[in-house]
C-alpha cells in the first residue's frame, strides 16, 4: 500500500455535533462570488440568498470586485443592487498598469480607489501577488511596504475603506518540496502555489514587510486575511495585534491550522475577541460553514476540518474551541459591524 492511499478511520467514540446554524447571526468578511471559489454570476440570486439564510449569514463580503470598473459594476448589479444589506463588495488595485504608467502609478492607483468607492466599493482587497509577483516599471519586485505606495494606503484610510490584505501563504509553501514538507500533497496538487525561497522572497521577509506596513499607517484599517497571514504562529500575530490597534484578522481557510493548536487558538480568541472576524473563503458552501460553526462552538474532538475525506491542507484533524457567547458574538458579527460600518 502506498502512503498516499492510507485512509485510517478513527475509532474514537466521542461527540459528533451537527451545528446547522450558528448560535448568532454571521457576517462573512472574506468570501468570493467568482471563479475559482464559486461562480454565482449565472445563477438566480434567490438561490444564493436562501443558501445564506440557511447558513445564518446576514452579510456576505464579496472580495471579487476586481480592479477595473467592469467587474466592479457587474458584481454591484448582480448582487449588491438587488439585496444591498446582504452584500458588501471590495475593489482592488490593477498592478499590471505600473509598467505603462511608470512612477505616477501609486497616485493613479489611489485615484482609482476614490472612483471605486464612488461606484459602491466598501473596501480594498489586496491579493497575495503583492510581495510575490508585482513588479514596478523597472521590472523590480515590489515589497509589501514599498514606500512609493504610501498614497494608496493613506487614501484607503481617508476614504474609510478597510484593506483586506493577504500576503505570502502557508509557511510550508516557501519550503523545499521534500519528505519534510507538511503541505507536500497539497503542493503536488497545486504546483502554482509553490513559492520556494529562493527564488521567491523568504516567508519571514514578507511578514516583516506586512508588519512595517501596518505600523506605518495607523489611520488605515488592515484586516490580515487567514489569521493575519501567519496562522502557524499565533504568538507572532498576537504581537502585531498588540502593537497595532488598526490591525484585525479573519479566520478564513484556517480552521485546519487553528484547530490543530486548540489550546493556543482558544486563548487567542479570548484575548483578541474584538479583533477577530469570521470568514470562510470557500464560496457560500453550507457544509464548510457548518464545520466552521462546529469548530468555534463545540468541544468536539478530533474531527475533519474539510468536506473531503482526506483533508486538503494536511492529514490532521482538529478540536473545537467551545467559545463563549460573548466571544462568538464579536467574532461572528460585532467586530465586522464596527469595521465595515454595517448597521443591522
Ligand atoms: Zn480569499
pLDDT digits (tens, 9 = 90+) for 54-72: 999 999 999 999 887 788 8
Number of other residues whose CB lies within 10 A of the CB of residue 121:
26
Count of positions (residues) in the chain: 344
Rounded to the nearest whole angstrom, what is the distance from the C-alpha of residue 32 to the centroid of ligand 1?
7
Please give the distance, rounded to the nearest whole angstrom, from the Cα atom of residue 230 to the centre of ligand 1.
Answer: 15
Q: Which of 339, 254, 248 is nearest to 296 (CA)?
A: 254
Mean pLDDT in residue range 244-251: 98
Question: How far is Cα of residue 286 from the mean position of the Cα atoms in its chain?
Answer: 18
Ligand 1 centroid from CA 253, angstroms: 8
Upstream peptide bond of 33 is cis (omega within 30 degrees of 0): no
Instruction: For residue range 166-215, list pLDDT tens digits in order.
Output: 999 999 999 999 999 999 999 999 999 999 988 999 999 999 999 999 99
Mean pLDDT of 206-225: 98
Q: Which residues contact 188 (CB under 8 A, 6 or more apart)?
A: 177
Q: 79: which 3 cell numbers?
A: 448582487
Collapsing DSSP to helix, strand or coil, 227 comes out as: helix
Report the separation in Å between the CA atom of 8 and the middle of ligand 1, taken as the mean of its atom positions. Answer: 31
CA pseudo-torsion sign 91, 162, 77, 63: positive
Distance 31 CA to ligand 1 centre (A): 6
**Beta-bridge partner residues of 126:** 165
Cα of 281 vs centre of ligand 1, distance in Å, is: 5
167 CA to centre of ligand 1 in angstroms: 11
How far apart are the CA of 221 and the centre of ligand 1, in A? 18
Nearest-angstrom CA–CA distance, 113 and 77: 19
Give alpha helix (H) positions in 244-340.
Answer: 255-258, 262-271, 286-297, 325-329, 335-340
Q: Is 313 helix (H, G, I), strand (E, B) or coil?
A: coil
Amino acid at each position: 500500500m502506498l502512503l498516499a492511499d492510507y485512509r485510517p478511520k478513527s475509532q474514537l467514540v466521542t461527540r459528533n455535533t451537527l451545528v446547522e446554524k450558528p448560535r448568532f447571526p454571521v457576517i462573512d468578511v472574506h468570501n468570493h462570488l467568482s471563479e475559482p471559489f464559486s461562480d454565482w454570476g449565472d445563477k438566480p440570486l434567490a438561490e444564493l440568498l436562501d443558501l445564506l439564510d440557511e447558513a445564518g449569514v446576514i452579510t456576505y463580503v464579496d472580495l471579487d470586485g476586481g480592479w477595473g470598473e467592469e467587474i466592479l459594476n457587474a458584481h454591484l448589479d448582480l448582487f449588491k443592487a438587488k439585496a444591498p444589506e446582504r452584500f458588501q463588495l471590495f475593489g482592488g488595485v490593477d498592478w499590471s498598469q505600473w509598467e505603462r504608467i511608470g512612477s505616477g502609478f501609486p497616485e493613479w492607483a489611489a485615484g482609482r480607489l476614490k472612483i471605486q468607492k464612488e461606484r459602491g466599493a466598501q473596501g480594498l482587497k489586496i491579493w497575495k501577488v503583492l510581495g510575490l509577483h508585482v513588479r514596478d516599471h523597472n521590472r523590480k519586485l515590489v515589497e509589501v511596504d514599498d514606500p512609493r505606495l504610501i498614497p494608496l494606503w493613506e487614501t484607503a484610510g481617508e476614504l474609510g475603506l478597510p484593506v483586506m490584505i493577504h500576503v505570502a501563504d502557508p509557511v510550508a509553501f516557501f519550503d523545499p518540496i521534500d519528505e519534510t514538507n507538511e503541505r507536500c500533497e497539497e503542493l503536488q496538487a497545486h504546483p502554482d502555489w509553490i513559492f520556494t525561497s529562493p527564488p521567491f522572497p523568504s516567508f519571514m521577509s514578507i511578514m516583516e514587510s506586512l508588519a512595517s506596513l501596518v505600523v506605518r499607517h495607523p489611520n488605515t484599517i488592515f484586516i490580515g486575511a487567514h489569521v493575519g497571514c501567519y496562522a502557524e504562529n499565533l504568538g507572532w500575530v498576537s504581537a502585531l495585534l498588540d502593537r497595532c490597534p488598526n490591525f484585525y484578522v479573519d479566520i478564513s481557510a484556517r480552521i485546519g491550522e487553528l484547530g490543530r493548536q486548540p489550546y493556543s487558538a482558544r486563548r487567542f480568541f479570548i484575548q483578541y475577541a474584538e479583533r477577530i472576524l469570521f470568514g470562510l473563503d470557500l464560496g457560500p458552501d453550507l457544509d464548510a460553514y457548518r464545520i466552521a460553526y462546529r469548530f468555534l462552538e463545540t468541544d468536539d474532538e478530533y474531527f475533519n476540518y474539510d468536506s473531503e475525506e482526506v483533508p486538503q491542507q494536511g492529514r490532521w484533524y482538529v478540536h473545537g474551541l467551545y467559545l463563549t457567547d460573548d466571544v462568538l458574538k464579536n467574532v461572528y458579527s460585532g467586530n465586522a459591524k464596527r469595521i465595515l460600518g454595517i448597521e443591522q
